[in-house]
Amino acid sequence: MPQGRRKLPFSGKQKKQQIQEKRKRKQQNAASGSEYKYERAEGNNVRPPKERLPEFNVQSINQQPLHRGGKSNPNQYVLQFRRETEEEIKKRKEDARKQIIPVSEEELEFDPAPYFCGNELGFPIRPKWSPDMTREQLDSREYGYFKEYLLTLKKRSDWDDLSYFELNLETWRQMWRVMEMSDIIVWIADARYPAVPTYLFTYVLKTLKKSLIIILNKMDLVPSAIGLAWKHKITQTYNLDDDDKAKVHVLFFTSFKNSSEFKEGVQKKKPRGKLKMAAEAAESLLKECKSIIEKYQAKIDLQSWENKINEEKELEYDNDEDVEIEEKITAVPETSYEHFDLFQNNYLTIGLLGQPNAGKSSVLNALMGKKVVSVSGTPGHTKHFQTIFLTPSVRLCDCPGLVFPSKLPKPLQVLMGCYPIAQLREPYSTIMFLAERLNLIKLLNLQHPEPGENEWSAIDICDSWAIKRGFLTARAGRPDTYRAANHLLRMTLSGKICLALRPLGFTENKKYWLSSAELKNIWKVKGIVDELDTYEHNYIELSDDDEQKPTAQTDTNENEDGSNEDESCDSDSSEVCGAIASNKFSVLDMSN
């Protein structure tokens, strides 16, 4: 009770208004980076937070509160994007209620170049520095350059058209260090949407004069013909100067889930052990590295790496349960600044770059043959670069995922895993983007929530899926549209619902790619003999358990704000999803 006066009545309406005002206050504070009252300084002291980049309306994703007595700032490498306005979100919600119009097969073809505007946008490049500079001078110069770069972008007439891209200087610094110390740069791309920044090719090949290897990861989710077409498209576009030592090379990589995770409706083929498959992918990487080293006439002994691969090729594991997982290696970020020459100290440094969720850490673990870095499906999981020796003469450097400036459709960025699904305020535009390219109604065996209606919208798909899965709000018992959309996006991210974009010209030359002799090299990486055996069904099957009565409602959140979304309720490991692809590629209709 208040001191010196009686307790005043406080109605439910007033309480609701108080909560709304508090929520609005927190959102405004988060935009300026000052939601938390203090930030960590050296010696466990606290100080007011730095108001950096306030003019760009920065939104920190998955920001954590700071606590007194802590030794580090958990938000140093947090994802930071430009905050979307309420008008933008409202417009996308309205568009999600419009009728879905399927795109043609030709419109599934994708050319990343126009979305990156050639070399116009560029990306933050480390400004010139010298070893004589103090840490404060270096920090001031890098911050000043980064702010000037963003101001230049903001002056562009198409500033509002730019998609999500990283606004955290600390994360860009990690990339600068990796690119400096690497002899060969490896860009790991999701083979479903290989959107490699075009200006990255120019910078690595022409400015750094280093070779660039593109690894198309997650090839088990993509038809081999599409992967092969992407390889030829990339190499033919960027390897134009035959005299250059620095070239673009394209490799394939894939990893399979444990056989114990295969549930009813999924392909029954049992993949070969992950270590053996990793050895085959590593063998192709070794071959490319050897050819690059020979061009530079460097003296690097790769025999120990070759011996390691040969030993692992002789091993066979039925699943990961037979593989001994050794203790994780916790890397400490390097803070020194020094110049690196190519192939110095007689060892090879391979830097792993890529967008969030492309599978960089998974590739590193597979190349090592054991788990050395943690893996997560949440963007921004890798906080700082980690250097790990594969052999005494070969070291791998894993960099945090970076979202480069572009005009890529934001729904595509969500499907790529660049934005945490649980933090999406408006997931329906992404469902619309997906439904225009895949027949979700047939794939998920949905019935319209409004009897007699034939026209479908993204909201209708989410409502129907919510009813089918039993996602209902606790109070009113209405279909939980947001949770259903969230669940569908998680299924897409994990590959249960599979969309694969194709390079320009693929549809016209489809028969050529389907009959190419080079497909056997990809089948070897995938661990299959003939991909024709995988085309068995024309839709996603529902298991018997999914056709039963919907489960009881446990969700108590009725609004559409993703901040309170319970991730555990939609975890793929805790429940059988309602639709599992028995053939991930059948929707692409490759036979036509």
Name the domain boundary from 398, 430, 461: 398
- Is the distance from CB of 524 to CB of 444 less than 8 angstroms? no
In a domain, 3, yes or no: no
Do β-strands 79-82 and 58-61 pair in parallel, antiparallel, or remain unpaired? antiparallel
For residue 476, being part of any structural domain is answered with: yes
Residue 556: exposed, middle, or buried by beta-carbon count in 10 A (0-12, 13-18, 19+)? exposed
Residue 176 pLDDT more than 70? Answer: yes
| Closest to 62 (Cα-Cα) out of 577, 583, 578, 562 | 562
Structure tokens at 34: 């000052």
Note whether 557 and 251 are within 8 A (CB): no
- Please compute, for residue 356, the number of CA atoms within 13 A of its CA located in the half-sphere on the CB side: 29
Q: How confident is the model at residue 436 (pLDDT cuts 50, 70, 90)?
A: very high
Which residue, 342, 369, 398, sits at the end of a domain?
398
Bridge-based pairing of strands 211-217 and 248-252 is parallel
- Is a pLDDT exceeding 60 seen at residue 202? yes
- Predicted confidence band of residue 428 (pLDDT cuts 50, 70, 90): very high
By CB atoms closer than 10 A (0-12, 13-18, 19+), residue 323 is: middle
Any domain includes 162: no
Placement of tokens 């440094």 in the chain: 349
Residues 6 or more apart in contact with residue 146 via CB below 8 angstroms: 124, 169, 172
Give residue 262's pLDDT band: very low, low, confident or very high (50, 70, 90): very low
The answer to whether the beta carbons of residues 166 and 79 sit under 8 Å apart is yes
Residue 71 banded pLDDT, cuts 50, 70, 90: low
Q: Which residue range forms the structural domain that includes residue 334?
A: 172-257+265-398
- Structural domain includes residue 139: no
pLDDT at 76: 57
* Nearest by Cα to 368 from 298, 294, 274, 439: 274
Question: Are 415 and 371 part of one and the same domain?
Answer: no
- In this structure, the answer to whether residues 205 and 352 fall within a common structural domain is yes
Amino acid at 174: Q
Q: Tell me how far the alpha carbon of residue 401 is from its chain's centroid.
A: 7
Q: Give rounded-to-5 percent helix, strand, coil for the chain.
A: 40, 10, 50
Alpha-carbon span 368 to 236, nearest angstrom: 31
pLDDT for 215 equals 93
415 and 270 assigned to the same domain? no
349 forms beta bridges with: 395
Q: Is the residue at 381 inside a domain?
A: yes
User: pLDDT tens, 524-542?
Assistant: 888 776 665 443 333 343 3
Give, rounded to a whole angstrom, the gap between the first and last alpha carbons of the chain: 75
Helix H or strand E segment including 214: strand 211-217
Could you tell me if 238 and 300 lie in one domain? yes
Q: Are residues 530 and 581 in the same domain?
A: yes
pLDDT score of 588 more than 60: no
Average pLDDT over residues 352-357: 89
pLDDT tens by residue, 295-348 = 888 888 888 888 888 887 776 554 444 433 333 333 444 444 445 567 777 789
336 & 469 share domain: no
Confidence of residue 418 (pLDDT cuts 50, 70, 90): confident
Asked whether the beta carbons of 567 and 575 are under 8 A apart, the reply is no
**Weakest-pLDDT range from 172-181, 247-256, 413-422, 448-457:** 247-256
In the numeric block, the tokens 């409602």 are attached to 553
CA distance readout (Å), 539 to 271, 441, 497, 545: 22, 10, 10, 18
> Do 250 and 237 meet the contact criterion of CB atoms below 8 Å apart?
no
Q: What is the pLDDT of residue 59?
A: 66
Tell whether 368 and 461 lie within a shared domain: no
Residue whose C-alpha is closest to residue 81's, from 356, 352, 335: 356
Residue with tokens 């947001």: 482
Of the two residues 368 and 469, the one the predictor is more confident about is 469
Task: Dig out the tokens for 536 from the structure.
Answer: 């068995």
User: Closest by alpha carbon to 265, among 438, 436, 444, 440?
Assistant: 444
Q: Within this chain, do residues 278 and 303 fall inside the same structural domain, yes or no?
A: yes
Q: Mean pLDDT of all residues in the chain?
A: 75
Same domain, 339 and 444: no
What pLDDT, on a 0 to 100 scale, did the predictor assign at position 360? 80
pLDDT greater than 80 at residue 13: yes
Q: Do residue 360 and residue 495 come from a single domain?
A: no
Count of domains observed in the chain? 3
Q: Assess whether 386 and 249 both reside in one domain.
A: yes
Instruction: Report CA dihedral (161, 356, 179, 58) to the nearest 10 degrees.
Output: 50
Max mean pLDDT range (2-16, 320-334, 577-591)? 2-16
pLDDT at 66: 59
The answer as to whether 483 is a domain residue is yes
The pLDDT value given to residue 560: 44
pLDDT in tens, 483-505: 999 999 999 998 889 899 999 99
Distance CA 360, CA 481 (A): 33
Which of 398, 420, 452 terminates a domain? The answer is 398
pLDDT band at 240 (very low <50, low <70, confident <90, very high): low
Three-state DSSP class for residue 251: strand
| Assigned domain for 29 exists | yes
Sequential DSSP letters for 346-383:
G-EEEEEEESTTS-HHHHHHHHHTS--S---SSTT---
Residue with tokens 């097969």: 105
Identify the CA nearest to 153 among candidates 407, 401, 326. 407
- Both 508 and 423 in one domain: the answer is yes
Specify whether the CB–CB gap between 30 and 58 falls below 8 A. Answer: no
Between these two residues, 274 and 267, which has the higher pLDDT value? 274
The residue-averaged pLDDT of 558-581 equals 40
Q: Is residue 497 part of a domain?
A: yes
Predicted pLDDT of residue 128: 86
